[in-house]
Structure 1
């Protein structure tokens, strides 16, 4: 279980959120600038809250009054919005970058699953947007993380590729059975992917919706 109970002063508001997730796909949904990415970065250790705590299973990532757990000791996969691929490295070098001994065995089935096993000697500039997304996804999952963070990973893709990648995320979640915490401000994407939707506005959780047949539609929310 991931438990997040944090407060952080941002330029326009106080980020103050409290939620827990199990093995679901949880979507942080809301307008741009509402604090969604700051939540992901706090979990990853790229920024530190002012107060509160972040705990995954029995390990504290952040606990008020104590030194935060270093980024490299958090077993987290992070898929950034721009994919953060190294342009001077091939797909193979990008995927294997930073891998520890023993993780190489897990790469081949993962590459085959997302269909990039034939692209290993290509460079990022030779790939389509969907292929770049898949490479970044493999790199994030290659070390078998305890949680996967995804910051609007599909926003730059065309509609058809976006739908294909959404289906792949759902399939990979079934295979991995770890929490996926995904940021989006696309209503249709949130409805399709999420087991739980956490709606955020101005740094506050304003609604929570579980994916149930009888669940009402998302409340109206102006997003940009």
Structure 2
């Protein structure tokens, strides 16, 4: 086995996966050449579900979504930290809701299959994230505010702020706002994890930035 697997190439990787259970860390370099059958086999035999979720973009296909759902149904635990799990959910949600990703599959029947498998997987992972959130305790004193910078090129800051807000709002009723040259409130106040993901994906980066802009209203209202 060792000798055979040392000769992995773009051309033979799928054939060797049929014969051997190789860790994805060894296969990742060939990710662009894996077919859906190989991806499904990796998702089925990889010891930790965390690994499949961590590299979800590489392995995503309807069969992999179904295997993730099945492994969760069978009681397998996810040990990813809350923040990483939320980031994975954002990726899955974005892929699920991006028309070009679904349309690339081909015919309508296949597109419906992709949508259905991602919806099921997404729902299971939402439940896991909600369970994790309910268990989190942090040594902070209220009031707590989360301020996100949505200026140009700061999409990551938007996603980070909304994920932090979901955590701190649940634990400390934290307030979420965004700022560029002034402070503004989010389009809506997220109440659920699904809301958090929606807000993270729909809040667009724009404008300049002034860090103090996020603090002015708190000083004016003597909240801090």
Give the TM-score category using the shorter length.
Answer: under 0.3
Q: Whose RCO is larger (CA < 8 A, sep 6+)? A: 1
Bigger helix fraction = 2
TM-score under structure 2 length normalisation: 0.23
Bigger strand fraction = 1
Name which one, 1 or 2, has greater alpha-carbon Rg. Answer: 2
